[in-house]
Structure 1
């Protein structure tokens, strides 16, 4: 475009060049060439800038953080770069939808497997160990002194193992969530967690919340479960606050600890699993962490939601 404008200017302008070329004429020609090259470079940079933004986005895009898009070109823009941007945004939209669908199927299959394992542990292992406890009790009642003490110890070990099996069953499939609701399930979860870890858990759970479907409640519960586990295993925390409240037509879960933080660049499988669950529920997950100042996990789940 710049070259065409310069050519037209030379054709129609009353400009002549002497032979030999005068110094002033040479200066004018050189200045004109420089201006043309600079203008051409500026126009190229402006026209190709969207490609640079696209390259940077392609290197950082994360399908677990949906909504990342390039600015759409102006209405009526029909350039090749504009078409490329529109196609790229449409591709991201399709990939996010496919990722959400595959994550939904995987997580639902995972929960189904958790339910199956919990049922088998409860029906098979739990009942068998209960029967063993009864047999040991009867044997201890009829046994002589030294043997009775050994049988009492075997009873105690079996009882502790049965308690652990029941804890695993609750971890795999929280019965309180199905029977008593989200608030009761979180209360039971935090009490059990505090008992086994020795951490101080402060609960701020609103009793009245917008109605949620079962899947959204399960997402909130699993994110709370994973956040508590991360705080205990990786953050060296001593105190954890668990909050659940309503915010308009949404339910907000907030979990913060006083640990060492996780660092902005680190995301393990647990955090990515939380992001997948948030994506499944159409929720917004924010994780903020400052080294040495703890971590805060905030999950906002819309309510009510359609079944997925």
Structure 2
């Protein structure tokens, strides 16, 4: 828990035990923690240097009050982070000025290998000051569903996320669960039939474009700095975003039993609404049935029931009726 303050698990264990016992010698601490005396002595030296522990007149050790000692460490870390943030702004401005006269080879960096792509993927997101925008296509090569830990961290810092999914992505294992989690975290998600490429944009400053992988080939990507090419990709994202269909949590999240005998058959159930939302997003019957864990026959039966409720004869009429009466 205190690793963020520069304390190892051994340091924390010794300090916690001293807080509980008030005072103790190194041998006593080593015996209680079942650690070598040398390890405890090294931890005590570190804690003394940090001001978390003091020596008593009888050569034992005492824990400094946590509210005072840890509070001071936390304040120091906050000050250091503020200084780092100011340095980041300064360096970013210097970098932006330097790129103005750079050659094409300096503005485009080729990244090769899964580990390198994952590293750059995280770096590009952390470079954002206002928003991250992404195109997500299938299949996943370097960053599978659930592997983007940077998203939650940056959302907590106030960075906005806009994501456009290729429709086939939602048929990939784990993709629906990750999309639901992202929507719950405030990510704006839209879906289109197909996308021309994978893409990650940090504001209008950096872009990462994964390259097509040949059979047996090593995955690669291109890291783009501010340039005419990056500006074109920025514009492409905004055009696609405007034409994409917004996804909502209610269209994906959870299931209810369509055959619930207690359900009111005169109004659409929650499952019916999810079916309609996915169909209106352009998914096929088979994809909708798979995602909602329904048989194709059950899905079509539910649609026939909805058409009867709406008093319509075609699915196009049902879509119009559903939109007008807020069924989806």
Which TM bucket (shorter chain)? Answer: under 0.3
Whichever structure has more helix as a proportion of its residues is 1
The structure with more radius of gyration = 1
